[in-house]
Homo-oligomer: A and B are copies of this chain.
Amino acid sequence: MPMILAANANAQGSHVGEWRHPDAWDRPAANLANAVRLAQIAEGGGFDLLFLADGNGVRNMDKPDLFAATSPSDRPGIFEPVTLLAALAMATSRIGLVATTTTTYDEPFHVARRFASLDHISGGRAGWNLVTTSNPGDALNFSHEAHVPRDDRYERAFEFAAVVKGLWDSWADDAFPQDKASGRFLDPARVHALNHHGKHFQVAGPLNAPRPPQGQPVVFSAGQSETGRELSAAMADCVFAIEGTLPRAQALYADLKGRLAKHGRTPDSLKILSGVTIIAGETAEEARRMSDELDALVPDAVALDYLNKMTGLKFKLSMLDQPFPDLDTSEIGPTAIAQAIVARARGEGMTIRQASRAILPQMAGNLFVGSATEVADRMEEWYRGHGCDGFMIAAPVVPTGLERFIRLVVPELRRRGLVRTEYEGTTLRDHLGLPRPANRFFPA
């Protein structure tokens, strides 16, 4: 099975500063033309899928400076992802289309229906990324007084996923003869009403859509807690995880694959994608210069907020040019990272501004910066070392970062036989090496 390449696609980008870069597309908020071109670029590069993160709320409104210099992850001006992917399905023909939807603030019948629709519209290219919603503020948009506690969210997510999967199998593949001569539109013996009665949901079914072309659209999950991992092992076809080092990625990989047997699953049935930000250059030096350029575009308010978040401190914008203060250990956040940041800032005699800038590369999560060979080496190491089955790639800036990855790194990966040279199937399941499952209610 070749290495999976997924494009972490937000037409506003993934790096906080990238939208400001001269190469970045102008006016990225809810810009359809950008989204279409990005999808076509990824498809042109042979990517297996396009992935859209999502949330149902706008963050940081209480911090005007930060809010004004908002980042795409704060999501003030985005499309609803399933609606967008339905449009992108019409502008592409092969690439998989994966959208994020919350199980905490939506209904399984709606979610099953929307992804079944997307799968029919795209000819079998739909994927559902199941999240329980991490941003507490989203609760306030759905008549909740506060965020649903984590355990309740996950309990609900398990049941939600089971209902969605059951609904997708409502109809046998041959349930709709649509025979004009006899007037038999459907076969009443080939439908299954779910009649689910659970703790969180009662859903009669059947779904009012034929079985999706893939049988079951591909289910993604990303939670890394114990419960999150159990949910992935029980319910997901694909996991998206961000780990900063290869040993941590290997540990997660072994843990997730090891959980599958007790669910009667083979290790191959769950694909693990490692999230990475890639800045590839013609040379290593060019790549590093691009990375610095990007960090320089992060507004002060954002960099300072990140420094405060990582250290547990409360610096203000007015203090940026003051020397980093001499602090008692007890005033600093308890993490080793916080202690290390402060020690370095003091040790090198940084100002607060300099300290906030020095840690920006960490903000990108797992960052691969380098020449095509260097980047391909890292990817190969993680892939062959059982750190992942492939990568969820963010490549700032939009679109030139992705174009550069495709021009420089993809040929190198192909040369090494790590990725396929062209699409071999038509559905997302085909691309990922996941067989089309039998209908649980109408086996064979």
Instruction: Name A140's closest neighbour in chain B (CB-CB).
Output: B204
Contacts of A259 in B (CB 8 A): none
Copies in the complex: 2
Q: Which of B19, B58, B185 contacts A69 (CB 8 A)?
A: B185
| Minimum Cβ distance to chain B for residue A204 (Å) | 4
Contacts of A191 in B (CB 8 A): 58, 61, 76
A87–B84 touching, CB < 8 Å = no
- Stretch from A22-30, A245-253, A277-285 at the B interface: A22-30
B183–A297 touching, CB < 8 Å = yes
B109–A77 touching, CB < 8 Å = no
| Minimum Cβ distance to chain B for residue A25 (Å) | 10
- A184 interface residue (CB < 8 Å to B): yes
Complex CA–CA separation, A114 to B109 (angstroms): 16
- A264 interface residue (CB < 8 Å to B): no
- A141 interface residue (CB < 8 Å to B): yes
Q: How many residues of A contact B (CB 8 A)?
A: 79
Contacts of A64 in B (CB 8 A): 188
Mark A125-169 against chain B: 1 for CB-CB distance below 8 A, else 0. 000000000000100111111000000000000000000000000
Complex CA–CA separation, A208 to B114 (angstroms): 20
Contacts of A176 in B (CB 8 A): 27, 29, 76-77
| Minimum Cβ distance to chain B for residue A119 (Å) | 10
Given contacts A20-B183, A183-B297, A186-B70, contact A121 B90 (CB under 8 A): no
Contacts of A87 in B (CB 8 A): 86-87, 89-90, 121
Given contacts A57-B208, A121-B32, contact A184 B83 (CB under 8 A): no
Mark A12-37 against chain B: 1 for CB-CB distance below 8 A, else 0. 00000001111010111110100000
Given contacts A80-B114, A83-B121, A121-B84, contact A178 B27 (CB under 8 A): yes
Mark A312-351 against chain B: 1 for CB-CB distance below 8 A, else 0. 0000000000000000000000000000000000000000
Q: Point out residues on A near B: beta carbons under 8 Å.
A: 19-22, 24, 26-30, 32, 55-58, 61, 64, 67-70, 75-80, 82-84, 86-87, 89-91, 105-107, 109-110, 113-114, 116-118, 120-121, 137, 140-145, 171, 176, 178, 180-181, 183-188, 191, 193, 200-206, 208-210, 297, 299
| Pairs of residues from A and B, 8 with the lowest C-beta to C-beta distance, nearest first | A140-B204, A90-B90, A86-B86, A183-B299, A80-B117, A83-B117, A64-B188, A109-B141
